[in-house]
Amino acid sequence: MVDSPAVGCRSMSSATPPTQVVRFGLFELDVRSGELRKRGVRVPLQGLPVQVLAILLENPGQVVTREELRARLWPADTFVDFDHSLHNAIARLREALGEEANNPRFIETLPRRGYRFIGPLDSPVVPQPVAPPVAARGRFWRVFPLVAFVLVALFTALLGLNVRNMRSRLFGEASASAHIDSVAVLPLKNLSDDREQDYFADGMTEALITNLGKASALRVISRTSVMRYKDTKKPLPEIARELQVDALVEGTVARSGDRLRITANLVQASPERHLWAETYERDLRDVLALQNDVARNITQQIQIKLTPEEHARLSTSHPVDPEAYQLYIKGRYFWVKRNRESFDRAMDYFQKAIDRDPGYAAPYSGLADCYVLFGSSFDVGGLAPNEVQPKAKAAALKALKLDSSLSDAHNSLAYVKLNYDWDWPAAEAEFKRSLQLNPGYAHGHHWYAHLLFSSGRREEALAEANRALDLDPVSPIINLHLGWHYLYTRQYDRALEQLAKTLELDPNYALAHWYRGLAFEQKKMYSEALHEMGIAKNLLPGNLAVVSDIGHVYAVSGDKGTAEKLIAELKEESSHRYVNQYELALIYVGLGRKDEAFKSLDLAFREHSDQLIYLKVDPRLDPISSDSRFADLVRLVGIPNPS
């Protein structure tokens, strides 16, 4: 059956190309620049969707088959999940044109066949002359096309297989992947109708980031930074520029019972080009192996060389109970929210995962991560270190007993050894092992910087802080940490500048206001300090550490009455909840009451306050640093001298 001219598909070789600017409806496409505009305003659409639109406009009213699009858009030696890539391109194009598939104004879908541009064109399509066919002469010219076809097919096959490295020697590598050494994994899209499954897609995104981060030769942007692009409509090149990466990974996640389907696409950022795509479908019990496969295949596509140990880690996995895995993913979903309520929910999910599968290591590591921050004066805090840090240590050790390759478990164990055990050599060994297992773990670099800085190794600490920022450029906590570094090195203006940048990322980030208050205090700008700390206090209701620091500002500014009042309030609070005695000591230092300051510091030592590792660098302790009791305390905490 032959299609009528109205719906038939012309040969792509005889298609008539459009003029330089083709107008349809409110839109116009500049074919030469690849820009789509609406009422003269550029529409943020680039790459594959624009290429598809240009081909459809070359053939207005005609069917362009899927096979013809594939031949035009993907070289023969490029492997992609064609169906998914084309579907995504059409979806992004329809979104830009403001239409839906079931009610098209411009692009009609012909199921299993292709697509057709059905909108009216306001600018003419100029036909191009077609050379007349050459008359066949003699037997040679009759068989020549067949011979040529066979030779071309054979040559193409040899190139495709890269026999004897032919393709590389003749043309070099086909892609620009040799120049890709940084990548960001955009939040995977949940294809399930159940919005509650978003946590699962987020968890798979984090797992892929973690696994790619195990390749030391590859810079992988951390979860905090990429999650800002969830459901974004920004063009991929723009996202890549903002994150300063060479390539992006995007994809989808779909679950049906215990079956899991993941599609991943690797896109070069500049120029935008689809390099690779693949679809994976597995039983949920094999989810860990699936995550490893995706990461390993991506490193292969961009020619990242893995060390033998890295290759082994991306090739080793074990089955996991599907329900336990889902409980763990839910726990991580709430853990990243980093507040007291979300941590309580995270710990509940982690414990349920352990109950379901006691041999699954990851939930123990999740528990350890919760406990270490519960014992911190900042962030969620509020619990005595003696109460939570031994639990953190036990959970981390259990996780490592089950799976010694868990980077975050080594990191949590290092935190406990540093802040609670004060075992500096063991803590450093654990931090280094964590980063060896996952060089892309931003918070590992962040926490290791605390050890380096508190022991006086400031240049090394700054290098680690910047490495963390390089991996997680728009993370508030990572940006805050760099401001803290400047604060404790007495670079107060630089601290204020960095903390202002942090607040640009999140104007309501309490710790940034708090630390700005500390910087203003050191500059003797006390009203500004109290203003910033007041904001932090309102954003962190019930946090006694910020109340203590406000008390210190009142003390050093000469308002001793208010400082004394806050001391009384904190002592009253200590009768029924944890009050960090280190923070209370700071108020006494500000008031010039050294004996009471050292009594509070002695209590802080007995409680293993997490703040004691900063004895030698905290500028607020300078007034008592020459006292022999201070040197004794430094020795008891075991703070090493910089080598």
Residues 320-344: what's their mean pLDDT?
Answer: 85
User: Of the ranges 14-28, 213-227, 326-340, which one carries the lowest mean pLDDT score?
Assistant: 14-28
pLDDT, residue 193, reads 65
User: Which residue type sits at 208?
Assistant: L
User: Which two three-digit tokens encode residue 19?
Assistant: 């003029």
- At residue 200, the 3 state secondary structure works out as helix
Which residues touch 216 (CB under 8 Å, ≥6 apart)? 307, 310, 439
User: What CATH number does the domain located at 12-117 have?
Assistant: 1.10.10.10
Mean pLDDT to the nearest integer, 81-90: 74
Segments in 162-235 forming alpha helices (H):
166-171, 198-212, 223-226
For 606-616, write each residue's pLDDT tens digit: 999 989 999 99
Query: In this predicted structure, what is the pLDDT of residue 393?
Result: 95
Query: What pLDDT is recorded for position 381?
Result: 58
Q: How far is CA 548 from CA 232, 480, 571, 586, 621, in A?
A: 41, 20, 11, 8, 14
Report the chain's mean pLDDT, rounded to a whole number.
82
Bond before 271 cis per omega within 30 degrees: yes
pLDDT at 378: 59
Angstrom distances, CA of residue 37 to CA of 27, 116, 177: 6, 20, 31
- Residue-level pLDDT at 170: 40
Cα–Cα dist 514/519, whole Å: 9
- In angstroms, rounded to a whole number, what is the distance separating the alpha carbons of residues 471 and 467? 6
DSSP designation for 558: T
Q: Which fold has domain 180-319?
A: Rossmann fold (3.40.50)
Look-up: residue for tokens 């201070």? 630
Contacts of 170 (CB under 8 A, 6+ apart): 159
Specify the pLDDT at position 133: 37
For 89, counting Cβ atoms within 10 Å of its Cβ (0-12 exposed, 13-18 middle, 19+ buried), the class is buried
Provide the strand spans (E) within 8-100.
Answer: 21-24, 27-30, 35-38, 41-43, 63-65
Q: Are 37 and 53 within 8 A, CB to CB?
A: no
Looking at per-residue confidence, does 123 or 428 come out higher?
Answer: 428
pLDDT digits (tens, 9 = 90+) for 529-576: 999 999 999 998 888 899 999 999 999 999 999 999 999 999 999 888
**Per-domain boundaries in the chain:** 12-117, 141-171, 180-319
Amino acid residing at 507: P
Q: pLDDT at position 123, please?
A: 55
Biggest CA–CA distance in the chain, Å, is 112
Q: What's the whole-number mean pLDDT along residues 219-232? A: 88
- pLDDT score of 40 more than 70: yes
* Whole-structure pTM value: 0.70
For the ranges 197-201, 346-350, 519-523, 599-603, which has the lowest average pLDDT?
A: 197-201
Per-residue pLDDT for 167 more than 90?
no
Give the tokens for residue 576.
């029924």
User: Omega into 385 within 30° of 0, i.e. cis?
Assistant: no
Q: What is the pLDDT of residues 580-594, one digit of tens each?
A: 999 999 999 999 999
pLDDT: which is higher, 213 or 336: 213
Question: What is the C-alpha separation between 471 and 220, in angstroms, rounded?
Answer: 6
7-11, 266-270, 302-306, range with greatest mean pLDDT: 266-270
Q: Which of 10-24, 104-118, 187-201, 614-628 is least confident?
A: 10-24
pLDDT classification of 159: cutoffs 50, 70, 90: very low
Position 225, amino acid? S
Average pLDDT over residues 177-201: 78
Same-fold call for 12-117 versus 180-319: no
Structure-token pair, residue 386: 């003696």
